[in-house]
Structure 1
Amino acid sequence: MKKGGFRTILGGNIGNALTEEIQKIVRSQKSEVRSQRTPDSRLPTIDYIVAEVSSFQLESIKNFRPKVAGIVNITPDHLDRYHSFKEYGNAKARIFENQKEDDSLVLNWDDPETIRVKSEKLKVKNEKPRIFYFSRKKEVEGVYLKDGVIYCNLPPITGTVPTVPLIRADEIRIKGVHNLENAMAAAAMALLAECPIEAVIDSLREFTGLEHRLEFVRELNGVKYFNDSKGTNVGAVIKSLESFQNPIILIAGGRDKAGDFSLLRQLVRERVKVIVLIGEASEKIKRTLGDITETVRAQDLREAVSISHRMAAKGDVVMLSPACASFDMFINFEDRGRQFKQIVMEMN
């Protein structure tokens, strides 16, 4: 949005807190008021707020009404807070509860739970937003992947042209199928917010990704190391495992959030060479997955990296993607990821 010329602030429940970003603007405006020399001076305005909103925050909304809303996916998470997966999905669906006919909603066509909540919640809603989709598997009204190219057919964007190619998938610098989905969702939402298509394409091509999201750390002796500490639930780890064809040594474990680790069995069988376990959930994960691949327990993260280093062969991938929260051993997932990177960079 900034590349498209819009004054934009970004905030969320992870990273920059939205309230803090707004307070910065308010303080800046007050400072500018004090320094005004003419009565005609105007304060800077904000065109868009880009907000990441958690299910926890959505539980208590009253009037929250985004002009463009999006649900990237709904996969099992925070089941230590919610009584069921359905309850968690219903909480996330509140993001479009107050939207009206001139608002837009972007959904993941490939995600069954997202489609379920859309069908159930919109069925009883009087005023419905305009609905668009993104998909890796199907040509949808919105943004989709076909033959390695991301296409857009959003009516406000394409006009009389049925489909516009945006970018080849291999031009996107961030790795992983989940990042491909994130890129398509972000593109659709930006275009619906009237961001110029050229700015969207440039951003897709230039964005290098965020720390702790399938972040490449280094290659040592032909082995590549990735920090995916933000993979704090089973669904996120599924996406990360799907991103590699090379044999994987997976470092997992931490504080369990009532995750269903059995959902990993098929991908672990197909792609994971060894699982190295840390933290409180080690025993539960071992009981669930230990019969289908070699499983080793480590006392801490440093030992887990050391074991992975010894067991890895040229061409392998070592990935920290815990499927758990970090609070049993670390301050937060950022602390866990940075410690992992430091340990990896110290190896020789």
Structure 2
Amino acid sequence: MRLVILGGGESGVGTAILGKKKGYEVFVSDFGKIKGNYKEVLIINGIAWEEEKHTEDLILNADVVMKSPGIPDKSPIVKKLIEKVIPVLSEIEFAAPFTDATIIGITGSNGKTTTTMLTHHLLKSAGLNVGLGGNIGKSFAWQVADNKYDSYVLELSSFQLDGILNFKPHIAIITNISPDHLDRYDYKYENYIDAKFRITMNQTEDDYLIYDADDEAITQWFKTHTTKAKLIPFSLTKTFSEGAYIKNNKMEISINHEEFTMDTEHIALEGKHNMKNAMAATSVAKLMQIRKSTIRESLSNFQGVEHRLEKVLKIQNVQYINDSKATNVNATFFALDSMNTPTVWIVGGVDKGNDYNELMSLVREKVKAIICLGVDNKKIIDVFGNVVDIMIEVSTMNDAVKMAQRLSEKGDTVLLSPACASFDLFENYEDRGKQFKQAVKNL
């Protein structure tokens, strides 16, 4: 069996190691450059590879292909594979059959990283032997090759779910759905929604789907589709006999005739959206039979995720917050919604077809100044130019932070929440967030 892997990054190299271990003839092909550390791993393991090209003769003779999530279906080599009816899978689909571990899969437009990290924290704190992977951390396939874990918490993007056929998590979570990455889905929102719901397509009556019952796209989907999985909804406004909700500042969860309650003020994460993330993660913990005292302790000591509403420093009584991970409007909506003080907002980058009008009421209410940090800020200026008194364009993070310090006064917040991808000025959102934190520390 010949396994060809497109993309020599984390998921590609992890799949190569697993494939080799399972007796496949493995070849890795990357159209770009392969990073030095990954090349070393391939060489040490005796795995054939090429970079900066796709040699068709070495790829189109595959029995199965694993495509890294960043490569679109529209790329010429993928089209040729599909024409030849060679199966093109995601890493998750390839690796899952090689493990008996319990799989918890988490998807959604926003909140999935926080929910994944919190779920992993809850299970690990309870002493479970649990791995963390998917879109974050070490490649799932690589971990399956090492065969150390009894369960996995996987963050799954729509791109990863596009490449599944039989994959099914025992517990699935859909945190929410809002328009994102529509360039990959022919600019059709319904295609993107369907991609997210692939997480439940193979689930049976013995499996669970945890979902946001306040989310319009999710509730609409359920009107015309079904899943065999047992449904566990969570909500900020509704109550359920089976599910999770907030009532009188208490998180209440009822699953399989078992109750769990906790005062929301004791939960370390702040903001309404984080209450949803906490309900989703706690629902998993309940399904995995974790003790109430352990759940309460873990929810109260969770540190949060880097670059997601991360408090950096307070300088002259101004709080600086790094929300670089907010790469779409919906994520920034959550961030602005959780601001309780006048805010200097740093925004901008590569726009993925954003509609900034959704933020209008929050900007009117909370934002005193906008700093545009992007190569092309025209759209942001057009929308908010008449709403905010001060709008300034800058082209470096240092200038953005210095300007924010000048515009802010005691009791204000400076919020980096770009609502855009970062590729115009930075390597990625992590690089953008790190530069922000460094610039704040240099003030």
Stretches of structure 1 that go unaligned for 5 or more consecutive residues are: 27-44, 159-163
Identity between Structure 1 and Structure 2 (%) = 41
Give 1:203's match in structure 2, choosing from 266, 290, 298. Answer: 298
The answer as to 2:173 corresponding to 1:70 is yes
2:366 — aligned with what?
271
- The counterpart of 1:317, out of the listed 409, 413, 423, is 413
Partner of 1:98: 202
Select 2:144's aligned residue among 22, 29, 33. Answer: 22
Q: Per the alignment, in what secondary structure is the counterpart of residue 2 of structure 1? A: helix
Superposed counterparts of 1:1-348, under 5 Å: 1-23=123-145, 25-26=146-147, 46-82=149-185, 83-122=187-226, 125=227, 128-140=228-240, 141-158=242-259, 164-165=260-261, 167-293=262-388, 294-347=390-443
**Aligned equivalents of 1:315, 1:301: Cα separation in 2:** 22
4+ runs of 1 displaced by more than 6 Å?
A: none
Q: Is the 8 A contact 2:209 2:230 kept in 1?
A: yes
- TM-score (norm: length of structure 1): 0.87
Q: Contact 2:271 / 2:338 at 8 angstroms: preserved in 1?
A: yes
Q: Name the amino acid aligned to 2:213.
A: W
TM-score (norm 2): 0.69
Contact 2:208–2:232, Cα closer than 8 Å, also in 1: yes
Q: Structure 1 288/296 Cα, relative in aligned 2: closer, same or farther at 3 Å?
A: same
| Aligned-residue offset at 1:194 | 2.4
Cα distance in 2 between the residues matched to 1:346 and 1:121: 53
TM-superposition CA deviations, 1:115-166 (whole Å, max 9, x none): 12233321xx5xx1110111122212311111111111112533xxxxx31x
One-letter code of the match for 1:130? K
Give the deviation of 1:303 after TM superposition. Answer: 0.9
Please tell me the residue identity of whatever aligns with 2:288: A
CA distance in structure 2 between the aligned counterparts of 1:169 and 1:281, rounded to whole angstroms:
41
Q: Structure 2 vs 1, CA of residues 157 and 101 (structure 1 numbering), >3 Å: closer, same or farther?
A: same
Quote how far apart the aligned CAs of 1:79 are.
2.0
Task: Provide closer, same or farther for how the CA distance between residues 247 and 150 of structure 1 changes in structure 2, counting only shifts above 3 A.
Answer: same
C-alpha distance in structure 2 between counterparts of 1:314 and 1:258, whole Å: 35
Task: Check whether the contact 1:175–1:214 (CA below 8 A) recurs between aligned residues.
Answer: no
- Deviations 1:70-120 (CA, angstroms, capped at 9, x unpaired): 001101211222222222111111111111111011010111112122333
Q: CA deviation at 1:199?
A: 2.1
What are the ranges of 5 or more consecutive residues in structure 2 without an aligned counterpart? 1-122
Q: Which residue of 2 aligns with 1:32?
A: none
- Provide the alpha-carbon RMSD of the alignment: 1.5
| Number of residue pairs aligned between Structure 1 and Structure 2 | 318
Q: CA deviation at 1:259?
A: 1.7
Higher relative contact order (CA 8 A, sep 6+): 1
| Pair 144,61 (structure 1): closer, same or farther in 2 beyond 3 Å | same
Which letter does structure 1 place at the counterpart of 2:164?
I
